[in-house]
């Protein structure tokens, strides 16, 4: 039966898109290594990521009406075969990841030349492709074990990418090491959780899992599996007390890696978390669980304030942005914990908006580091005036980080506050606004350093190269664009949220 159906499903090139977007970068990596020519590494990587981006856009358009695409790898039908499954929720995240990847690569070209020894360039782009593949695969797949595989692909390559910062600062090595330990533990917890699920249900296909959990109800094994998966994936998400790997990794990684990780890695993990919570364990199961209320809400509030306060006092702008990311992840978790469609849309839309915003900011810092050599505030004095276009892009995205009306950041915070009011949680709504005030403070500190202090007279800083400016401005304009045109982001987020809340019904064949 499987063979017939599979032929029926995948006949044309278009039908192979779900797998192609993972496979193209996957094969790009070994090709880069085999060719081994430094001059060809970047073009291949860029071509692969651009192709993936185009594909993900096509996919997103196809599923925007609320439907889904099921692709059976090798023609083997699920639950036996591996299924790639695209719906609004992961198509949105796929578009974000591949889009950021495509924008980051031109930026990386200059930045990598400046920060990484030449002999490593080829390997760097190969690793980058692998990480890119891993993140896309994690999101695209409909098979639980496949998630683990891609998670490991992305994680292992990320450790290498972070370690590349060692040329600049040796602490990148300890950062990568810590990330490796933590990431591995997280992945281990995740695989333990999967094993338990397999033990309890006998399947690893997500849709199948959802059906069986829905049919047979829960038991202790499944509950334990839930805890392991949430904590394991939560580690990759950098849920507040599990965030310790993040600041160092973001701070000491090469600029291009910081940009890419900040915009995509945690976002993909959040998507996986959502997928498991709502589609595998269905919402009614999640509703019964107090995990959300007892763990998520306090920790996300803690993240929103504690991490913001830390960001306020930071003296290193990259570190400040890293802590700000932890705080922003708090918002996303809060959106999940609201357990309503608006809250989930807020999470998804913030996932995209914050990805774009943070990527633009890290790009700006990376461009300045070309001249300043470090991301400490006192080395960046007055650079906004010496690099007006870079500075302006940082101002635009900084405003989006605060959530000023007319920027993308405002939209997501607004939807989040609405969700809080829908639940009658006005204290939470006030907390969201208060923590936004903290964002005002740390973003203002950044503006102050960039514009209101006298530049170092010996500084040789000039405007960043065009290859960096264009990606930066693409993202900065996106920050503003998504503040006005919410059709694409909020629209698809709403469709995705509805799909997720439909639970295992949304996964039905």
Partner 1 sequence: MIDTFPPFLIFFIGAAILPLIPQGNLRSAISLIFPVISAWLIWTMPEGLHLSMAFVGLDITLLRVDKLATIFGLIFSLAAFLSLLYAWHVRDTVQQVAALLYAGSAIGAVFAGDLITLFFFWEGTAIASVFLIWARGTEGAYHTGMRYLIMQIASGVILIAGAALYFRTTGNVEFTSMSDLFAAGDIGTILIFFAFGIKCAFPLLHNWLQDSYPAATITGTVILSSFTTKLAVYSLARGFPGTEILIYIGAVMTLFPIFYAVIENDLRRVLAYSLNNQLGFMVVGVGIGTELALNGTAAHAFAHILYKSLLFMSVGAVLFRTGTAKGSELGGLYKTMPLTMIFCVVGAASISAFPLFSGFISKSLILSAAAHDHYYVIWAILLFASAGVFHHSGIKIPYFVFFAHDSGLRPKEAPWNMLLAMGLTAFLCIAIGAYPAPLYSLLPYDVDYVPYTTTHVITQLQLLFFSALAFTVLMRTGIYPPELKSINLDTDWTYRKAGPSVIHWFSWVIGSFYTWLTKLMSKTTERTIKRLYRSHGPEGQMARSWPTGAMVLSIAVLLGATLFINFLV
**Residues of the shown chain interacting with partner 1 in the complex, contacts defined by CB under 8 A:** 177-178, 181-182, 185-186, 189, 220, 223-224, 226-228, 230-231, 234-235, 241-242, 244-245, 247-248, 289-291, 294-295, 306, 309-310, 312-316, 319, 323
Nearest distance in Å: CB 178, partner 1: 5
Nearest distance in Å: CB 309, partner 1: 4
Residue 506 DSSP label:
G
Q: Environment class of residue 48 by beta-carbon count within 10 Å: exposed (0-12), middle (13-18) or buried (19+)?
A: buried
251 touches 176 (CB < 8 A)? no
Q: Which is nearer to partner 1, 414 or 444 (CB)?
A: 444
Strand partners, 143: 205
Nearest distance in Å: CB 222, partner 1: 10
Nearest distance in Å: CB 357, partner 1: 22
Q: Which is nearer to partner 1, 294 or 508 (CB)?
A: 294
Nearest distance in Å: CB 285, partner 1: 11
Q: Which is nearer to partner 1, 230 or 344 (CB)?
A: 230
Q: Which is nearer to partner 1, 64 or 441 (CB)?
A: 441
Nearest distance in Å: CB 198, partner 1: 19
**Dihedral (C-alpha) 313, 307, 192, 293: value to the nearest 10 degrees?**
160
Q: Which is nearer to partner 1, 222 or 256 (CB)?
A: 222
Whole-number Å distance between alpha carbons of 454 and 197:
60
What ranges in 339-425 are assigned the alpha helix state H?
Answer: 341-372, 383-386, 388-402, 408-422
Q: Which is nearer to partner 1, 68 or 226 (CB)?
A: 226
Nearest distance in Å: CB 215, partner 1: 21
What long-range pairs does 308-314 form, CB within 8 A, spacing at least 24? 308/435, 308/438, 308/439, 308/442, 309/438, 311/438, 311/442, 312/438, 312/441, 312/442, 312/445, 314/442
By three-state DSSP, how is residue 240 classified?
helix
489 touches 411 (CB < 8 A)? yes
Whole-number Å distance between alpha carbons of 188 and 194:
10
225 touches 197 (CB < 8 A)? yes
What ranges in 169-263 are assigned the alpha helix state H?
Answer: 171-201, 206-216, 220-237, 245-252, 255-260
Q: Which is nearer to partner 1, 108 or 438 (CB)?
A: 438
Measure the CA angle with vertex 494, ends 488 and 495; round to 5°. Answer: 90
Q: Which is nearer to partner 1, 138 or 182 (CB)?
A: 182
Whole-number Å distance between alpha carbons of 49 and 57:
12
By three-state DSSP, how is residue 270 classified?
helix
338 touches 274 (CB < 8 A)? no
Q: Which is nearer to partner 1, 248 or 328 (CB)?
A: 248
Can you read off the two tokens belonging to residue 57? 């856009």
Nearest distance in Å: CB 231, partner 1: 5
Nearest distance in Å: CB 277, partner 1: 13
């Amino acid at each position: 039966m499987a063979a017939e159906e599979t032929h029926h499903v995948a006949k044309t090139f278009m039908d192979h898109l779900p797998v192609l977007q993972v496979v193209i970068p996957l094969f790009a990596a070994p090709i880069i290594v085999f060719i081994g020519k430094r001059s060809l590494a970047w073009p291949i990587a860029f071509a692969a990521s651009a192709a993936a981006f185009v594909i993900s856009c096509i996919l997103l358009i196809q599923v925007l009406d609320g439907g889904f695409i099921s692709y059976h790898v090798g023609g083997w039908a699920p639950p036996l075969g591996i299924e790639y499954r695209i719906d609004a929720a992961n198509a949105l995240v796929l578009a974000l990841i591949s889009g950021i990847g495509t924008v980051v690569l031109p930026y990386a070209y200059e930045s990598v030349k400046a920060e990484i020894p030449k002999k490593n360039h080829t390997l760097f782009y190969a690793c980058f492709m692998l990480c890119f593949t891993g993140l896309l695969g994690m999101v695209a797949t409909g098979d639980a074990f496949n998630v683990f595989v891609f998670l490991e692909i992305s994680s292992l390559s990320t450790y290498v990418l972070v370690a590349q910062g060692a040329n600049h600062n040796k602490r990148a090595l300890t950062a990568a090491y810590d990330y490796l330990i933590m990431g591995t533990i997280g992945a281990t917890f995740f695989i333990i959780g999967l094993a338990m699920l397999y033990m309890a249900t006998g399947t690893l296909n997500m849709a199948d899992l959802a059906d069986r959990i829905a049919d047979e109800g829960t038991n202790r094994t499944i509950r334990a599996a839930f805890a392991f998966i949430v904590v394991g994936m939560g580690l990759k998400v950098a849920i507040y007390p599990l965030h310790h790997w993040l600041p160092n990794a973001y701070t000491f990684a090469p600029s291009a890696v910081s940009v890419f990780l900040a915009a995509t890695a945690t976002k993909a993990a959040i998507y996986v978390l959502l997928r498991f919570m709502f589609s595998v364990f269905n919402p009614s199961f999640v509703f019964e669980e107090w995990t959300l209320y007892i763990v998520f809400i306090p920790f996300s509030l803690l993240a929103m304030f504690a991490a913001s306060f830390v960001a306020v006092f930071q003296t290193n702008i990259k570190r400040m942005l890293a802590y700000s990311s932890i705080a922003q992840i708090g918002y996303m978790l809060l959106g999940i914990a609201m357990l309503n469609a608006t809250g989930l849309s807020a999470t998804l839309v913030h996932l995209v908006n914050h990805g774009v915003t943070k990527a633009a900011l890290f790009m700006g810092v990376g461009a300045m580091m070309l001249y300043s050599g470090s991301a400490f505030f006192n080395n960046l004095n007055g650079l906004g005036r010496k690099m007006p276009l870079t500075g302006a892009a940082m101002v635009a995205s900084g405003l989006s980080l605060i959530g000023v009306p007319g920027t993308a950041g405002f939209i997501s915070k607004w939807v989040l506050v609405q969700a809080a009011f829908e639940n009658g949680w006005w204290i939470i709504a006030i907390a969201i606004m208060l923590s936004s005030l903290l964002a005002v403070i740390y973003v203002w500190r950044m503006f102050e350093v960039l514009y209101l202090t006298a530049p170092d007279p010996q500084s040789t800083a000039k405007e960043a190269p065009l290859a960096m400016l264009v990606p930066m401005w693409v993202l900065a304009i996106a920050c503003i664009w998504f503040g006005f045109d919410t059709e694409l982001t909020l629209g698809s987020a709403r469709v995705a949220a509805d799909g997720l809340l439909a639970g295992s019904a949304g996964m039905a064949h």
